[in-house]
Structures are given as C-alpha cells and as structure tokens.
C-alpha cells in the first residue's frame, strides 16, 4: 500500500455520548434501566450465548448491574484526564453530547452550574487543540419529558427547541459544529418497533409519530440555531447501514432497495434542505431478503456484527448526491481483546480515502469510541468494549489499547502509511 494522504485540515478524533460515559445521571433511561436490569440479565443467555465471546462475558452479562449505567466511566469528573489522552493520541476534534436532563432537570428550570460544566468541557477541548462537535440529543430525555409521553407528544418538540435555543445562545461564541440528533432511525426502531430499549414500545403507529416529530425537531432546530448563531454548522449523525440481498432472487432485490431507502435515505430526504453537513455513522453490512445466503460474510466483532470495510465507501458514495460536506461521526468495533481493531481502522480508512479520491467531500473521522462505555442500543451494558482506551470499571483506570496508537499515527501524519509502518 502506498502512502495515502488525507486532505489538509482533515479532522481526526473520537466520539462519546453523555449517558454512555459521564455517570451520575437521572433521565428516562436510568429509570428504565432500574426497572429492566433483572429481566435483561435473565435474557442474556438467549441473546448472547451464540457469540464467540460468550464464555468470557457470561458472568457479566448475567449480572443485573451490567444493565445499570450508574457511574459509567465517571467521565463527568475525569474529562480533562480523558482529553489529555485524546490529545496525546493526536486527535484534533472530539464529539460528545450535552445531556438535556442535566441542563433542564425540571421543566423551564435551566441549571447554570451544568451549563458551566459543559462550557468547561468545550474549553478543555479547545485548550488541547480539539474542535468540539456537540450532539444535542443522543437518545435520553429528562424524566418530565418522558412523563408527558416523550417524542410521541408534539409538545416535546417545542420543549426540545426551547432547550436548543438556550444552548445556541450559551455556546454561540464557543462552538461551531452542532449535531442536532443522533441516529433517530435506531432510536425509533428499537424503542418503538422492536421494543428492546427505552421506552420499550412495540407499536408501528407510535413509531411513525415519533419519527415525524424527530424530523420536525431536526428541521426547526437548524433554523433556530442559525438565527442565534449564523456561523454555526448544523448537521445530523444518522446510522447508515450497507444492505445487500441474501441472494439474487428478484423479490430480494426489491426488499433490499425498500429497506435501504427507509433506513438510509427517508429521514435525510426530509431534512436535506435544513442541513449544513451530514454525519455518517457506519458499522456493518446487513443481508436482507428470503432464502439461503449466497453472499460470503467476513469476520465478526464481539457483538456478532460483520466487519465489512468497503461498506463505508458504498455509503459515502451514495451520500455524495446530497452535495454536503460529510463527517464520519461514528465507526468502530466491539473488540475486548483488541485483536481486530487495528485492521478495522486501517481498512475502513482505506475505503474512506478511496471515496475522497473519487470526489466525496469527507472532512473528518470520529472513531467510536474514545473510551469503553455503556453500550446503548438495546441496552447491552458494559461488556461490549468499543474503546480506543480500555476502562477498568472497578478502579476507573484508563489504559491505551495498542490499536489506539496505530490510529494515533494516522491522526498525527494525516495519512495512511504503508503497512510496514504500523
Ligand atoms: O454505542 C452506540 C452509540 O450510542 C450510537 N451508535 C452506535 C454505537 C455502537 O452501538
């Protein structure tokens, strides 16, 4: 492999979300965790015993404590130490979320102390030469929002926009990049169709209502942020999956096209005129349709997700038609032993580079995640290990994984060096 250089001023970093790393929260998810931890521990064997990693995680996955986010990584108190690590690894940007339930714990009461906390977070990043990318909603809400029916209720949109306006005012001199929503498609599918994470509903009509409300919120937030902060760059981080049909049966191609449209493009098409950039969260390929698989699949992560690096290229190429700058706002792997992460990173970046070479305007890459954390979708808890940095949840000690050093070389040289250099 020859040296592959990335564009000048390309941003390199990693991503987290408040609920997954901060600790000490009280929101609709923490309440749901308390009520469902026993059940989730009881279901672990059925859900995870097919995974190669099962013998190593069995005890943890069957322990109800695994499903309580609790003090998480204590990042709320340790963010400076964590940002020191990110800086030492050559990161030039960092994505994190501001937790609505901290800022507005009771309706209409904004907590100035917590606003100050996040101001300090932003300043800590800037002091270390990292550009902050602020997510404004990463799935959690204050309990008073859940009490009025959460995103099923139109009033939630109005409350959310009031929160957005407050944040835009407070941070207009400190933050340029705002990601309004994180993965509304995953939140809605698992929360309102499969019912496997909060609020645990299985009702397609409610799902539709929630999705439309989120869509409305994203569009209107764009206008509100720009009215307060004209120089802001406002985007979304959506989950994009690479879909393929299991085999070439005619009907399967139709199914694949339909699923792909609704998962990857429906929401984006609705909001595309109110968007400065697209955030692409990419993890894996999914085979859909009927009959036996004729597609040969590759290696799997600890979570059983297929490692399919070329998928990031296919997705980025398909997003080119929107003619917006793009950031890969998440891409990562659950790999407790850090055996696959190095190649995962190199191979995905190689394909991302290929897309850039072919004219796709990608301006940054955020690895998921800086730290091991509380794995969010379907509340899998602490056993999946996504971190560049390992966290010992007993002592809170941080240990940089070898793959993080490989990624650091890429960040520091702004290039993928020939194989021999890694
Ligand atoms: O941990 C999550 C994150 O919260 C949203 N995107 C996918 C990640 C890995 O599952």
Q: Which residue has its alpha carbon closest to ligand 1 atom 2? A: 376
> In the structure, which protein residues have their CB atom closer than 6 angstroms to any atom of ligand 1?
17, 20, 183, 281, 330, 368, 375-377
Nearest to 324 by CA among 267, 281, 266, 271: 271
User: How far apart are the CA of 46 and the centre of ligand 1, in A?
Assistant: 22
Looking at per-residue pLDDT, the higher value among 272 and 421 belongs to 272
- What is the per-residue pLDDT across 282-297, written as a single tens digit (0 to 9) for each? 999 999 999 999 999 9
What lies within 8 Å, CB to CB, of 166 at 6+ separation is 103, 104, 110
Please report the DSSP string for 22-88 in residue order.
T----SHHHHHHHHHHHHHHHHHHHHHTTSTTHHHHHHHHTSGGGG--TTTT-HHHHHHHHHHHHHH
**Host domain of residue 331:** 4-421
Report which protein residue has its CA nearest ligand 1's atom 10: 377
Domain at 223, CATH number: 3.20.20.80
Please count the structural domains in the chain. 1
Instruction: Name which of 28, 57, 52 is nearest 41 in CA terms.
Output: 57
Q: Ligand 1, closest atom to CA 303?
A: 10
pTM, entire model? 0.98
Q: Residue 221 CB: number of other CB atoms within 10 A?
A: 27
Instruction: Name the residue of 241, 375, 378 to mutate for ligand 1: max ligand atoms within 8 A of Cβ.
Output: 375
H-type alpha helices, 62-153? 75-88, 100-103, 112-127, 143-147
Does the pLDDT of residue 421 top 90, yes or no? no
In the structure, what pLDDT confidence band is assigned to residue 250 with cuts at 50, 70 and 90? confident
- Mean pLDDT score of the chain: 97
pLDDT digits (tens, 9 = 90+) for 132-146: 999 999 999 999 999
Residue 149 has pLDDT above 90, yes or no: yes
């Amino acid at each position: 492999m020859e040296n592959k250089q990335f564009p000048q001023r390309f941003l390199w970093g990693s991503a987290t979300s408040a609920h997954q790393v901060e600790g000490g929260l009280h929101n609709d998810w923490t309440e749901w965790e308390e009520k469902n931890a026993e059940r989730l521990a009881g279901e672990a064997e059925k859900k995870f015993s097919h995974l190669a990693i099962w013998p190593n995680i069995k005890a943890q996955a069957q322990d109800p404590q695994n499903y309580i986010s609790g003090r998480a990584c204590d990042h709320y108190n340790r963010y400076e130490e964590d940002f020191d690590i990110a800086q030492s690894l050559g990161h030039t940007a960092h994505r994190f979320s501001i937790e609505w339930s901290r800022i507005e714990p009771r309706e209409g009461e904004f907590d100035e102390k917590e606003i100050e906390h996040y101001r300090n977070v932003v300043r800590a990043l800037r002091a270390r030469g990292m550009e902050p990318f602020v997510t404004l909603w990463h799935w959690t809400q204050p309990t008073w929002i859940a009490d009025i029916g959460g995103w099923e209720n139109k009033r939630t949109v109005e409350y959310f926009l009031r929160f957005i306006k407050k944040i835009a005012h407070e941070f207009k001199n400190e933050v340029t990049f705002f990601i309004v929503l994180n993965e509304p498609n995953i939140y809605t599918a698992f929360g309102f169709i499969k019912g496997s994470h909060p609020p645990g509903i299985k009702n397609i009509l409610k799902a539709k209502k929630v999705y439309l409300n989120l869509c409305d919120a994203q569009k209107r937030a764009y206008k509100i942020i720009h009215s307060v902060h004209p120089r802001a760059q406002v985007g979304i981080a959506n989950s994009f999956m690479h879909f393929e049909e299991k085999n070439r049966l005619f009907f399967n191609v139709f199914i694949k096209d339909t699923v792909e449209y609704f998962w990857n493009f429906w929401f984006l098409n609705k909001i595309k005129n109110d968007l400065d950039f697209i955030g692409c969260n990419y993890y894996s390929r999914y085979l859909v349709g009927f009959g036996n698989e004729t597609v040969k699949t590759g290696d799997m992560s600890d979570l059983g997700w297929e490692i399919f690096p070329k998928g990031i290229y296919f997705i980025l190429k398909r997003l080119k038609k929107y003619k917006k700058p793009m950031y890969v706002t998440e891409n990562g792997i659950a790999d407790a032993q850090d055996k696959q992460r190095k190649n995962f990173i190199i191979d995905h970046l190689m394909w991302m580079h290929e897309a850039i070479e072919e004219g796709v305007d990608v301006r940054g890459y955020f690895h998921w995640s800086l730290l091991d954390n509380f794995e969010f979708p379907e509340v899998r808890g602490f056993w999946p290990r996504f971190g560049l940095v390992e966290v010992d949840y007993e002592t809170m000690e941080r240990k940089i994984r070898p793959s993080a050093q490989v990624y650091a070389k890429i960040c520091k040289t702004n290039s993928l060096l020939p194989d021999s250099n890694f």
